[in-house]
């Protein structure tokens, strides 16, 4: 069936919308993709909503967060409209929309996670069923609620030689490792582009370090890097996940622009290297997806610090920009077919679980 997937990720840069043709199992073909950037004003309001949500002991809408959710939903309606126009398809062709929403706070240690976005309003806008709130059931059952993409990575990677790893580099990084036996281990490794973006936005007139050019001119402060990596979270065995707000740029304050960017980029790469120690079988090849794969300096540091071959997933014929949105379309189809999207080896769920809530159009 044709399914749309929508992702507003931890990089807070915009919405990825993907259309795929899939059976929710071994078959998935990309049909169309559209990336819609957020305006600067909304990006700042979204960041403030995330910061406020992380101060709460349970989800609770306040005026700012409610207003941001309404605006976020309207932007997703726009993204779907644009995707349909670009693809040549009409709403009647689409079986389901997988709607991730935007994570404003992720607290699996308290058994809750919070993705804002009105699934009912989105379903009503197009007359298409929407599957949303894909993480909460897993977290309520004791899982981490993340990462969810491994089920899609597994479907795409069935023909690759093993062991192999798929690394998603958004604001936060997560890895899916597939052993020679087919066993899957997946978890968040730490930051990817999140802190680098924060640094560039705070200390320059740029929103991100394009191609890693700023970091390439800097020198890594190894002492500060070691202090950052001493955080007890890195020693925890998977399953584990982390919120983008768990780390800040405070650790590199006082460095110049280039050295700060270099140190934060090394922090992302070194965290992945630490994560490999938790795997039952070390992968010789890592394929990277997400916006972070465009950061040449980050990719070089990943290869140097992991000792693995690091490639972009595009070399496999996959669309590294669309992959995450495609995954949520795939998961929405699995929800309709009552198939699991999270597993003990990926999120730490007690058993394979079918997540999400179905919003039928009125």
Reported as a single tens digit per residue, the pLDDT across 180-228 is 998 899 999 999 999 999 999 999 999 999 999 999 999 999 999 999 9
* Sheet with 184-191, edge to edge strand ranges: 184-191, 172-178, 164-169, 285-289, 309-312
| Whole-number pLDDT of residue 240 | 94
**Rg from Cα positions in the chain:** 19
Architecture, CATH, for domain 2-147+321-359: 2-Layer Sandwich (3.30)
User: 54-108 pLDDT, tens per residue?
Assistant: 999 999 999 999 999 999 999 999 999 999 999 999 999 999 999 999 999 999 9
Instruction: State the pTM of this model.
Output: 0.92
| Whole-number pLDDT of residue 49 | 97
Q: Which residues contact 305 (CB under 8 A, 6 or more apart)?
A: 266, 269, 270, 272, 273
Distance of CA 320 to the CA centre of its chain: 12
The CATH code of the domain at 159-316 is: 3.30.420.40
Supply 345's token pair.
Answer: 């080896």
Sign of the Cα pseudo-torsion (74, 120, 10, 56, in order): positive
The percentage of the chain sitting over the pLDDT mark of 70, rounded to a whole number, equals 100
| Whole-number pLDDT of residue 10 | 85
Span(s) in the chain for CATH 3.30.420.40? 2-147+321-359, 159-316
Sign of the Cα pseudo-torsion (158, 333, 321, 306, in order): negative
Over the chain, what is the mean pLDDT?
96
Q: How many CB atoms lie within 10 A of CB 63?
A: 7
**Of residues 274, 129, 119, 122, the one with CA closest to residue 189:** 274
| Whole-number pLDDT of residue 362 | 85
What is the C-alpha to C-alpha distance for residues 244 and 310, in angstroms, rounded to an integer?
24
């Amino acid at each position: 069936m044709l399914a749309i997937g929508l992702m507003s990720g931890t990089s807070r840069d915009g919405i990825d919308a993907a259309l795929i043709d899939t059976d929710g199992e071994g078959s998935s073909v990309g049909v169309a993709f559209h990336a819609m950037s957020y305006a600067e004003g909304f990006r700042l309001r979204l960041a403030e909503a995330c910061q406020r949500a992380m101060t709460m002991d349970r989800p609770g809408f306040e005026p700012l967060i409610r207003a941001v959710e309404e605006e976020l939903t309207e932007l997703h309606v726009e993204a779907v409209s644009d995707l349909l126009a670009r693809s040549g398809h009409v709403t009647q062709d689409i079986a389901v929309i997988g709607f991730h929403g935007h994570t404003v706070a992720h607290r699996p240690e308290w058994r809750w996670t919070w993705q804002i976005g009105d699934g009912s309003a989105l379903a009503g806008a197009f007359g298409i069923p929407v599957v949303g709130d894909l993480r909460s059931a897993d977290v309520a059952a004791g899982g981490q609620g993340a990462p969810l993409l491994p089920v899609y990575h597994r479907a795409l990677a069935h023909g690759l030689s093993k062991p192999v790893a798929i690394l998603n580099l958004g604001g936060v990084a997560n890895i899916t490792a597939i052993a020679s036996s087919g066993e899957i281990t997946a978890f968040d490794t730490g930051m990817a582009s999140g802190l680098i973006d924060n640094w560039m936005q705070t200390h320059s007139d740029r929103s991100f370090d394009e191609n890693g050019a700023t970091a390439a001119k800097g020198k890594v402060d190894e002492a500060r890097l070691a202090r950052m990596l001493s955080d007890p979270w890195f020693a925890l065995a998977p399953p584990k996940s982390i919120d983008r707000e768990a780390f800040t740029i405070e650790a590199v304050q006082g460095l110049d622009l280039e050295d700060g960017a270099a140190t934060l980029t090394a922090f992302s790469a070194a965290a992945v290297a630490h994560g490999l120690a938790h795997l039952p079988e070390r992968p010789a090849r890592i394929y990277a997806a997400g916006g972070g794969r465009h950061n040449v300096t980050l990719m070089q540091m990943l290869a140097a610090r992991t000792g693995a071959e690091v490639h972009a997933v595009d070399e496999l014929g996959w669309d590294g920009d669309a992959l995450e949105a495609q995954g949520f379309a795939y998961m929405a189809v699995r929800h309709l077919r009552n198939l699991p999207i999270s597993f003990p080896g990926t999120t730490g769920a007690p058993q394979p679980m079918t997540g999400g809530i179905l919003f039928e159009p009125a």
